[in-house]
Amino acid sequence: MLPKTILVPTDLSEGAEQALDYACELAQTLGATVHLVNVIGIPSLGVPELGLAMTSTVIDQIMIDNQTALDKLAESKRGKSQIGQALLRTGDAKDVINQAAIELGADLIVMSTHGRRGLKRALLGSVTETVVRSAPCPVLTVKVQETQHSDRDAA
């Protein structure tokens, strides 16, 4: 069965937008709807490792800024394919992405991979890898292409 509901997690980076562009092209071909989710990982206040406490004002501003950016991103893609919901959630990205996929009845998750290796990957972990292993539906990963070295620029 071909996907009709595609979920694209985004951290609002250029790499995530590349995955979104891919998902939009795929959705247009398949007649599918693309939904976006942006997850803000809000740490517990008073965690010593942070070295700072985030006030509710700071958290509120981050949420407003991310929702504005997410809405702008969704609007910029509406001419390319059918865009559904643009969700802003808080929590652990891996869990929130899987929960959003269940809630939306996603047939496919499309997300970018940064290709981190070694110590960077060990320290930062891999949201994409965890979602691939635990998602309730197939996951298509899109390798981030450096814009200055992309094939499109060379042509």
Residue 9, phi-psi category: left (phi > 0), alpha (psi -120 to 50), beta (remainder): beta
Give the containing element (helix H, strand E) for 26: helix 14-30
Q: Mean per-residue pLDDT for 150-154?
A: 45
Superfamily of domain 5-154: HUPs (3.40.50.620)
Is pLDDT of 154 > 50? no
Give the pLDDT score at 153: 45
pLDDT in tens, 114-135: 756 555 555 445 888 899 999 9
Give the pLDDT score at 105: 97
Distance CA 70, CA 84 (A): 12
* Closest C-alpha among 114, 94, 78 to residue 37: 94
Boundaries of every domain in the chain? 5-154
Q: Which of 33-47, 64-78, 117-131 shows the highest mean pLDDT?
A: 64-78
CB count within 10 Å of CB 103 equals 13
Please give the structure tokens belonging to residue 152. 């499109």
